[in-house]
Amino acid sequence: MIQLANRLDCTGCSACANICGHNAIAMVADEEGFLQPQIDKEQCVECGLCAKSCPIVSSKSEIPSDKEKQTAYALISYEDRTVSSSGGAFSVFAKWILRQGGIVYGATIDDQLQVYHVGIDKLEDLGKLRGSKYIQSKIGNTYREAKDWLRKGRKVLYTGTPCQIAGLYGFLNGKKYEGSLYTLDLVCHGVPSQKGFDAYLDKIKKNCPGTGNIEAFRFRKFDSWDYRPAIKFTESKWKILKYADNAYMNAFFEGLTFRESCFRCNYCNTDRVGTFTIADFWGIGKHGHKFKRNVACGVSLVIDNYGIMPQLVENLNQYAYIEKRWMDEAVAEQTNLKHPMPRNEMRDNTVKDMIDPTISLKDFSKKYGLPYQNTIKSVLKEGVKTLIYNLGLYNLYKTLSYKFS
């Protein structure tokens, strides 16, 4: 009898489903919307490949970073900083691969606001993969696709959460394809489900009658440190989400809607699995030597896990400013490079309550101690915050605080 990871430990990486040559494994959403492997016993021949590929029950995906060579870098894209999250590190690596005729895989969000992994081979499609999506993406068959491209001699860049990158290496039986396969693992806080996000959008729509259908959702702005999410309806302009309307991201930052495995994540440390680790470089210049570049639109942290950046930096320099920094500084304000988000006991019911159509966003927010209504204090606070953002004063503040800290 095949034994895969249990429901609480499974990360949903989909390595097992990708490696099954008999298509006996399907990734099926559980009651909270998180994908779990489901084995068709009639199709299964019990070859054991699925268990061997699983990062939780096998060690095949474990390609530990080389601590002696592990180095931190600050990166700021010359062209893509205002259209990418943070300093544009993903775009820089992606352009480098695409201009060599390679394939780039990452998470996209479609017109139906569904998040899934997809591969691109054209620079003009890069926009599909840019930007943060705070939802666990569906891997689909992209591990299989990436392997096919590698076998054909194409370079591949694969970006995802650490568990997804571990899933890819598990699927590849631990083979690194050095010089051809490059992976970017994200410093991840945790992942909510697509079902939870869909239910949230339905509740938002009820709160905004007469505005039409939801056209787009923005989890964060690209051109500043403004982290307020926004929504676009067909009959309205972009609307900044506040109070109860922002319940999804408020719950995210409290870790109330994450997959259960996120609270026991094996990758919330500096033992990374990707070729490189990327994130926002929080606190740059505050915990080491001064950083003299403008930080107003964000700076990317890039951790070189195997000491190969010196071989690539000459090529990457045409796309970005890259500066070597200290690992201690990189870790200083990155909580998820130290430990996973602690599990809140309220997590037992939060996802179910978000999905429940009878529970409003206001009731949800009130129940779980999240901002849910206007008060004189909150209105004044939001008004001042909006003014500061609109005048660009927050970017100026961040620049000066980093420069003179």
Question: What tokens does 263 get?
Answer: 């609270």
Per-residue pLDDT tens over the stretch 344-362: 999 999 999 999 999 999 9
Cβ atoms of 19 and 38 within 8 Å: the answer is: no
Nearest-angstrom CA–CA distance, 321 and 75 = 6
Q: Where are the domains of the chain?
A: 71-191+258-337, 194-256+343-373
Amino acid at 396: L
* Inter-CA distances, 41 with 32, 56, 84, 348, 384, Å: 24, 21, 44, 31, 60
The pTM of the full predicted model, rounded to 2 decimals, is 0.91
Give the Cα separation of 300 and 177 in Å (integer): 26
CA proximity to 136, closest of 193, 199, 195: 193
242 vs 185, more confident: 185
Tokens of residue 28, six digits: 């099926």
Residue 297: pLDDT over 80: no
Of residues 162 and 293, more confidence is placed in 162
Separation CA 187–CA 213 (nearest Å): 33
Q: Which of 36, 39, 28 is nearest to 2 (CA)?
A: 39
The answer to whether 323 and 73 have CB atoms below 8 angstroms apart is: yes
Query: How far apart (Å, rounded) are the C-alpha atoms in residues 106 and 118?
Result: 6
Phi/psi at 360 (nearest 5 deg)?
-75, 165
Residue 141: predicted pLDDT: 98
Spatial strand order of the sheet with 214-218 comes to 214-218, 230-233, 239-240
